[in-house]
Amino acid sequence: MSTPTPEASGESGPKQSARPTHPQGTALTTSQGTPLRDTDHSLKAGPRGPILLQDHHLREKITHFDHERIPERVVHARGAGAHGRFISYGTGSRICSAGFLAEGVETPVFVRFSTVAGSRGSADTVRDTRGFATKFYTEEGVFDLVGNNIPVFFIQDGIKFPDVVHSVKPHPDLEIPQAQSAHDTFWDFVSEHTQAQAHTMWFMSDRGIPRSYRMMEGFGVHTFKMVAPDGTTSLVKFHWKPRLGVHSLVWEEALLANGADPDFHRRDLAEAIKAGAFPEWELGVQVFEDNEEQMFEGIDLLDPTKFVPEELAPVQLIGKMVLDRNPANYFAETEQVAFHPGHLVPGIDVTNDPLLQVRLFSYIDTQITRLGGPNFSQLPINLPHAPVNDMLRDGMHQTYVHEGIAPYHPNSLDGGCPFMAGEGDNIRPPFIDVPEHVAEALKERGNPVSFEDHFSQVTMFYRSLDTQEQLHVQQAYSFELGKCASEQVRKRQLQALANIDAGLCAAVAHELGLPAPEADTEVPESELCPSVSQMGGMWPIDGRVLGIVASHSTPAKAIELLVANANLRGLKPLLLAPTGGSLADGSPVDRTLLTARSIEFDAIVVAAALSPAPDSRVDLDAKAGVIRPPGAEELDPRLVLLLQEAYRQGKAIVTVEQDEGFFEDIGLPAMGPGLVKATIESAIQDTATLLASHRVWERFDIPTS
Ligand code: HDE
The pLDDT value given to residue 421? 83
Write the pLDDT tens digit of every residue in 181-196. Answer: 999 999 999 999 999 9
267 Cα to the center of ligand 1, angstroms: 23
**Active-site annotation holds for 510:** no
Q: Which residues pair with 109 in a beta bridge?
A: 84, 136
What is the DSSP code (8-state) at residue 673? Answer: T
The whole-number pLDDT of residue 428 equals 78
Span 621-644, average pLDDT:
75
DSSP state at residue 669: -
List CB contacts of 309: < 8 A, sequence separation 6 or more: 460, 527, 529, 531, 532
Nearest CA to ligand 1 atom 43: 131
Q: Report pLDDT for 91.
A: 98
Distance 405 CA to ligand 1 centre (A): 37
Nearest CA-CA partner of 371 in 326, 338, 333: 338
Q: Is the CB of 384 under 6 A from ligand 1?
A: no
Nearest Cα residue to atom 38 of ligand 1: 359
Whether 552 shows a pLDDT value over 60: the answer reads yes
Confidence of residue 608 (pLDDT cuts 50, 70, 90): confident
pLDDT value for 426 = 58
| Radius of gyration of the CA atoms of the chain, in A | 29
Confirm if 570 and 618 have CB atoms less than 8 A apart. Answer: no
Does the annotation count 567 as an active-site position?
no
Closest atom of ligand 1 to 75 CA is 26
Quickly list H helices, 345-486: 354-370, 456-464, 467-482
Q: Which is higher by pLDDT, 185 or 617?
A: 185
Gap between the Cα atoms of 705 and 702, Å rounded? 9
CA distance 181 to 671: 39
- H or E element: which one contains 15? none
**Count of residues for the chain?**
705
With a 6 Å cutoff on the Cβ, whether 355 touches ligand 1 is yes
Ligand 1 neighbourhood includes 112 CB (under 6 angstroms): yes
What is the average pLDDT score of the chain?
92
Cα atoms found within 13 Å of the Cα of residue 119, Cβ hemisphere only: 10
- CB of 235 within 8 A of CB of 294? yes
pLDDT score of 13 = 38
- If DSSP states are collapsed to H, E and C, what string results for 345-360? CCCEECCCCHHHHHHH
- Buried/exposed 466-480: b ≥16 CB within 10 Å, e otherwise: bebbbbbbbbbbbbb
User: Helix, strand or coil for residue 626?
Assistant: coil
Mean per-residue pLDDT, 209-214? 98
Q: Is the CB of 578 under 6 A from ligand 1?
A: no
Distance of CA 136 to the CA centre of its chain: 17
Atom 6 in ligand 1: residue holding the nearest Cα: 75
Going by pLDDT thresholds of 50, 70 and 90, the confidence category of residue 29 is very high
CA dihedral of residues 72, 330, 113, 120 (deg, nearest 10): -30
Query: Catalytic: which of 57, 64, 67, 76?
Result: 76
pLDDT class for 423, splitting at 50, 70, 90? low
What value does the mean pLDDT take over residues 593-599? 94
d(CA 651, CA 684): 14
**pLDDT tens string 438-455:** 878 899 999 999 999 999
Q: Where are the beta strands (DSSP E) in 536-630?
A: 545-549, 572-577, 591-592, 603-606
* Residue 257 near residue 264, CB atoms below 8 Å: yes
Angle, helix 161-168 to helix 184-192, in steps of 10 degrees: 150
Confidence (pLDDT) at 420? 86
**Ligand 1 site-directed mutation target among 75, 165, 202, 307, most atoms within 8 Å of CB:** 75
User: Crossing angle of helices 556-568/683-691, nearest 10°?
Assistant: 30
Distance CA 181, CA 480 (A): 7
Q: Once rounded to an integer, what is the mean pLDDT over residues 221-237?
A: 97
Residue in 83, 148, 343, 565 annotated catalytic: 148
Q: Is the CB of 133 under 6 A from ligand 1?
A: yes
d(CA 432, CA 363): 21
Distance CA 660, CA 609 (A): 12
Q: Report the helix count and the strand count for the chain, using DSSP H and E.
A: 16, 18
Tell me the C-alpha to C-alpha distance, in Å, between residue 696 and each of 244, 516, 640, 676: 17, 33, 19, 12
Q: Tell me how far apart the alpha carbons of residues 652 and 541 are, in angstroms, rounded to a whole number.
A: 13
CA-CA distance, 556 to 575, in Å (whole number)?
13
Give this prediction's pTM.
Answer: 0.94
Task: Give residue 205 CA to ligand 1 midpoint distance, Å.
Answer: 22
Q: Do residues 392 and 377 make contact, with C-beta atoms less than 8 angstroms apart? A: no
Residues 6+ apart with CB under 8 A from 85: 106, 107, 108, 109, 321, 322, 324
How far is the centre of ligand 1, averaged over its atoms, from the C-alpha of 530 (Å)? 29
135 lines ligand 1 (CB under 6 A): no
Sheet holding 545-549, edge to edge: 591-592, 572-577, 545-549, 603-606, 652-656, 675-678
As a whole number of angstroms, the distance between CA 69 and CA 508 comes to 43
Q: Is the pLDDT of residue 614 over 60?
A: no
- Ligand 1: which residue has its CA nearest to atom 16? 131
pLDDT in tens, 284-323: 999 999 998 999 999 999 999 999 999 999 999 999 999 9
Report d(CA 320, CA 75) in Å as an integer: 28
Q: Given 3-state DSSP classes, what are the helix, strand and coil percentages for the chain, each rounded to the nearest 5?
A: 30, 15, 55
Distance between Cα 546 and ligand 1 center (Å)? 36
* pLDDT of 649 strictly over 50: yes
pLDDT digits (tens, 9 = 90+) for 351-384: 999 999 999 999 999 999 999 999 999 999 999 9
Distance 234 CA to ligand 1 centre (A): 25
**How many angstroms separate the alpha carbon of residue 146 from the centre of ligand 1?**
7
Closest CA to 317 of 242, 244, 225, 239: 239
The DSSP secondary structure of 208-256, one letter per residue, reads: GSBS-GGG--EE--S-EEEE-TTS-EEEEEEEEEETT---B--HHHHHH
